[in-house]
Structure 1
Amino acid sequence: MIVYSGTISKFNNDVDNGIIADLVKSELEKRNITNNNQSEFRSWDNSLLHMKNVLDIPEISKDIRVAIEYQIPATSKRVDFIIAGKDENDKSNVVIIELKQWETAKRTSREDIVTTYLGGANRAVTHPSYQAYSYAKTIENYNEYVQKKNIELFPCCFLHNYREEHRSELDNDLYSDIIKIAPMYLKQDTKKLREFIRKYVSKSDNGELLYQIDHGKIRPSKALQDTIVSMINGNQEFYMIDEQKVVFSTIKKLVENAISNNKKYTIIIEGGPGTGKSVIAMNLLAEFRSLMVNYVTKNAAPRNVYFSKMRQGKFKLNYVKNLFKGSGAYVASKKNDFDCLIVDEAHRLNEKSGMFANLGENQIKEIINASRVSVFFIDEDQIVTTKDFGSINEIKKQAKLLGSEIFSGEDYRLTSQFRCNGSDGYIAFLDHILGIRDTANYDGFDLDYDIRVYDDPVMMRDDLRGINHIDNKSRMIAGYCYEWVTQKNNSEEAYDIELENGFKAKWNFSSTNTWAIDEDSFEQVGCIHTAQGLEFDYVGIIIGKDLRFENGKVITDYTKRAKSDASLRGIKSKGNYELADCIIRNTYKTLLSRGQKGCFVYCEDKELSDYMKNRLANIVKR
């Protein structure tokens, strides 16, 4: 999605008339992207004036098209400035420019990471050249036109306020590789930037390329489970962006330090659904594959899927078994048996291990003890059972007891959305609609994400089935409000979930361990335990009677859960109804955020259905 576009002539005039920042802000608002960030508004005024000075020379054709604030598909990230056209040989090219107002920055020992003053503090961020490069590679991955037509994207960065005396902090041997790929220009390098632009774009293509980038077909999103074999083989499938890269490079450096200095570190990475926790975890697994490393998760569903994919990739059985582990595998481990343990979905860790919770003392303690570096990816808003023991406080407590240095905080927090078509606003909408927290921008997403609320579950399933026929990447998932009838009655006529209009379906529990990827599993319905930790193109969510809309608000009712649901075990005896309320809301947020491209919803409670439809209608009207 391009926010502003036009010829260089139009762009120059809008800058000269002092309206460019207002136009960009207005276009964002038209697309339901609220923006109250005054510093960003000032950056448009400042940075775009400098870009006008770069482009406003006779040697650069005023008919060449430019674009401002292009939102990269399937992410919440926007490219600052794009110039598109043809070179002297009539080859179509795109120049991507990352604009920075920085005056100074500091080098670090971390790969492609620098520090600079942002938001009132010194922060670790990606080198501007890496940022431009990662944005370009992500566009290449998602835009079918760019790939099929062999359109080349040439990234660079322009630090128009940066002081020359600090150049060596950014331009040195530490960053030479990325600067070769994506050159860095300061204010004194304006002529060099012009030469870079003119080398690749010297003629107008009448806007054809920008149109195709903005309106062209988007390639299917990559699901982590489909790329794991390639990643473990050392191929780069996901180009980590911004805070993802900061987290990855920081962990990589800490693992290197721990091994060389015989230190013990515990790293806590916070991030909501779709922020890339599992992508970073798998990239770390691939990076450290020559070390003693495990990917750890309590959830069996993703482990089973990854195991299946790895076996299909011809990896040996013992290698795969030793790569993916459940969270109870370290009861008998000795101190520092492993170089690194990468713990995904750490909020799902149990206190004790074993089928009867009678083994070990504390899973968090055992994991930290077993590894030089323990990395915990956690989202406390995805706690979905009374047994979920993982918390930031408990991790810190056990790390201190074991003498492991703790790394957490701002540099270890993931915020940007890479699922749900990259819509941060959709996640805020879920928080608001489910009553998890009040969010200022819950009605601020642009509806590129395909969310539909159905009155008929049969129609929802039919529509989802049609999409699933394309690539087998859509699934139905329900809240656990329906008894597992087919556990004892496996006849064809027996069903677990029966809804209005003749909808009947079975739970997937007894069908397979790899329901998420099997060719014939669409008709079975998954639950939180078989869906958490995985992602799909589209999901169809059945919201049971444990979530309703009454007296003007969304309420939960734990008594409407299936009696066989172990996730709320002990709630009644302990009287912890606040925890039950939290678990139900967290469960539906987790389910409603599983889809990369879209989410179809059916609510048993008609008032809740109407409420959701009204909220969505208000967004459309804006």
Structure 2
Amino acid sequence: MPLYRGSVSSIRAKTANGSLVPTLTEQFRHQIGHRPSPSEIKSWGRSLDVLATDLDEAGLAEVEVLVEYQLPMTSKRVDAVLCGRRPRTRHPQYVLVELKQWSSAHLLHDSETVCVLEGLGERLHPVEQVRRYCSYLGDFAAALSTSPSAVCGVAYLHNATDGDVGSLWQLEPDEQGRMFTSQRRGDFLRYLQHRLAPESGADVADLLLSSVIRPSKQLLALAAEEVQSREQFVLLDEQQVAHQLVTRAVERSLRANTKEVIVISGGPGSGKSVIALSLVGELSRQGRSVLHATGSSAFTKTLRRVAGQRAPRVKEMFKFFNQFGDAEWNSLDVLICDEAHRIRATSSNRYTPARLRTGHPQVDELIAVARVPVFLLDEHQVVRPGEIGTIADIRAAADRVGLTVREVDLDGQFRCGGSRLYEEWVLRLLGLEPGGPLPWEGDDTFSLGVAEEPSLMEARLHQMLDQGYGARIAAGYC
């Protein structure tokens, strides 16, 4: 969703009469929920005028421009997306433009993708920035899934000369990312003329803005290779039962055009996240459109690091619960909601754009977006006030739209040394099961100890490491 959409000629007209920046400011306030910063307002007035003037001079006055286009399911925005057709093939073409008012910058020592701006600190290299935007858009806009070459990107440093940003040229350009300065304005105009025909691009913009949002086949293939190849995803007993329940539900949904809800519940260490990652890998291998979502920033970032260690693009398949408010009904085959006990009443918070403040229950949004929404949860692990993820809540939401709910309870215990006694002792200690606390009487295969301060526990764990054991510290604010 852009802040403004119009032809180059309309942008030039609005720039001339002084109405473009007020229009962008008002749309920003309406969509995002607060006013843009003074620096952002100032940059619109300067950079967009430069871009529109250059496009007009290149004979591209009828090309359609999406100003401040928000990438799907993320808060990131592209300064401008130029929409048109290739001069020879007539195929749709999208040029993503990042406009920089930098007057000077240099690469960070020992890095090709991080640069330093005087007084402003470190920034991602603008070519790397726009290259990632191109990759992301190609991965999630279904309209582009069969033609990845339809998207290319440029960083236009219109206030800088080549010498002002000398070291930034060390990053090699490619079709999805290249850089131009004021000194290379002529090259920039020829680049645009080579990629965009001098005619209206309104229909091409329509195609992008109406596109279904889902992961592309290329991204799914990458996820299958990256995620499923990991040996630790070995499923046992009820874990395999839950995995098979989901894959059968997906087959039914596609074969018979049905929709159903799967709930997988289990305590700490029962393997819920192992199932979730295994499903991401398996369903990606099958070419199913699948995303993973949680309500925890730390957990999602950890999963992104684990699952996308060798293929950074895979990280984008890991989302947050509040990112599906404007997604289309059944736009995904599967949405895997891990730690679903952290579902909130609604997706709105102080950062939610005004257009997404629907007031709809968050669980309704999660159910709506996929043919098979899968919820993995532990009802005892609600962390913060306002989190309402329970089996009863999910059932009620499914009932509202007439959907079947299938449940699996993970009876196995794979953490805490597999000690059922310890699990029961903790649940009773915390009042999560009736009967009150019990004295710890021990378990032949499990040892429990209490340290009076963290340093003593750390020293004990170092002793274990010295003896050849594995050891770690886990901590949480709850």
* Alignment match, 2:83: 84
- Specify which of 363, 366, 375 is matched with residue 475 of structure 1: 375
Q: CA deviation at 1:36?
A: 3.5
CA pair 474-49 structure 1, distance change in 2 beyond 3 A: same
Superposed CA RMSD: 5.2
Write the distance in 2 (CA, Å) between the matches of 1:197 and 1:163: 19
Distance across 1 between alignment mates of 2:13 and 2:38: 23
How far off is 1:506 after superposition? 9.6
Question: 2:398 and 2:131 mapped to 1: Cα distance?
Answer: 52
Kept after mapping to 2: 8 A contact 1:480/1:565: no
- Per-residue CA distance 1:259-281 (angstroms, 9 max, x = gap): xxxxxxxxxxxxxxxxxxxxxxx
Other-structure match for 2:154: 156
Are 2:130 and 1:132 aligned? yes
Q: 1:309 and 1:49, CA in 2 relative to 1: closer, same or farther beyond 3 A?
A: closer
Partner of 1:442: 350
- What CA distance in whole angstroms lies between the structure 1 residues aligned with 2:398 and 2:11? 58
CA distance, structure 2, for counterparts of residue 15 and residue 180 of structure 1? 30
Cα shift at 1:229? 3.6
Cα offset, 1:212, TM superposition: 1.6
Aligned-residue offset at 1:169: 1.4
1:108 aligns with 2:8: no
Say whether 1:216 aligns with 2:211. Answer: yes
Shift, 1:161, TM fit: 1.4
Work out whether 1:200 is the aligned partner of 2:195.
yes
CA 1:450–1:509: 2 relative to 1, 3 Å: farther
Letter of the 1:65 counterpart: E
1:193-245 CA distance string (max 9 Å, x none):
111111111232450111121122112599x99965422699xxxxxxxxxxx
Q: Kindly tell me: are residues 307 and 476 of structure 1, through their superposed partners in 2, closer, same or farther at Cα, counting changes over 3 Å?
A: closer
Structure 2 Cα separation of the partners of residues 209 and 16 of structure 1:
26
CA separation of 1:310 and 1:2: change in aligned 2, threshold 3 A: closer
Counterpart of 2:151 in structure 1: which amino acid?
L
Distance 1:467 1:12 in 2: 39
- Do the aligned residues in 2 keep the contact of 1:423 with 1:445 (CA within 8 Å)? no
Question: 2:191 is aligned with what amino acid?
Answer: F
Following superposition, the deviation at residue 422 of structure 1 comes to 4.7
- Cα offset, 1:65, TM superposition: 1.1
- Matched residue, 1:14: 14
Describe how 1:266-305 pairs up with structure 2 within 5 A: 300-305=271-276
Residue aligning to 2:361: 453
- Cα displacement (A) at 1:442: 1.1
After superposition, the C-alpha distances for 1:517-537 in whole angstroms (9 at most, x for unaligned) are xxxxxxxxxxxx9xxxxxxxx
Question: Is contact 2:104-2:160 (8 Å) kept?
Answer: yes
Aligned residue type for 1:203: P
Structure 1, residues 60-84: CA drift from partner, whole Å, max 9, x if none?
1322211101100011100101111
For structure 2, the 5+ residue unaligned runs are: 230-267, 286-295, 304-314, 326-341, 383-390, 415-422, 424-428, 441-451, 453-475
1:226–1:309 Cα contact (<8 Å) kept: no
TM-score between the two structures when normalised by the length of structure 1: 0.45
TM-score scaled by length of structure 2: 0.56
1:467/1:422 Cα in 2 relative to 1: closer, same or farther (>3 Å)? Answer: closer
SS of residue matched to 1:67: strand
Q: How many residues align?
A: 338
Letter in 1 for 2:47: S
Q: Report 1:232-271 matches (<5 A).
A: none
Give the Cα separation in 2 of the matches to 1:421 and 1:500: 19
| Counterpart pick for 1:188 among 175, 183, 190 | 183
- Residue 16 of structure 1 aligns with an amino acid whose one-letter code is A
1:291-370 matches, cutoff 5 A: 300-306=271-277
Query: 1-side partners of 2:360 and 2:284: how far apart?
Result: 37
3-state DSSP class of the match of 2:29? Answer: helix
The alignment partner of 1:16 has SS state of: helix
Alpha carbons of structure 1 residues 420 and 70: separation in structure 2 relative to 1, 3 Å: farther
| Worse overlay, 75-84 or 13-22 | 13-22
User: Could you tell me whether the CA contact under 8 Å between 2:64 and 2:202 is conserved in 1?
Assistant: yes
2-side partners of 1:170 and 1:115: how far apart? 8
Match of 2:320 in 1: 419
Q: Does 1:46 align with 2:46?
A: yes
Change (3 A) 1:197 1:563: farther
Query: Per the alignment, in what secondary structure is the counterpart of residue 145 of structure 2?
Result: helix
Deviation at 1:139, TM superposition (A): 0.8
1:82 alignment partner AA: V
* Letter paired with 1:302: S
1:69 counterpart residue number: 68
Deviations 1:76-110 (A, max 9, x none): 10010111112222222111111111111121355
Aligned amino acid, residue 40 of structure 1 = E
Q: AA paired with 1:301?
A: K
Q: Report the Cα distance in structure 1 between the residues aligned to 2:78 and 2:2, rounded to whole angstroms.
A: 9
Aligned residue in 1 for 2:264: none
Q: State the 1:168 CA deviation.
A: 1.8
- The answer to whether structure 1 residue 4 and structure 2 residue 4 are counterparts is yes
Shift of 1:562: 4.3
Q: Structure 2: how far apart are the matches of 1:154 and 1:347?
A: 32
Change (3 A) 1:166 1:452: same
Using the alignment, how far apart are the partners of 2:24 and 2:320 within structure 1?
25
More displaced stretch, 22-31 vs 68-77? 22-31
1:549-573 C-alpha deviation (Å, 9 max, x unpaired): xxxxxxxxx988544999xx9xxxx
Change (3 A) 1:64 1:347: closer
Question: Partners of 1:306 and 1:139 in 2: how far apart?
Answer: 23
Asked if the contact 2:138–2:145 (Cα under 8 Å) also holds between the matched residues in 1, the reply is yes
Q: Is the 8 A contact 2:68 2:78 kept in 1?
A: yes
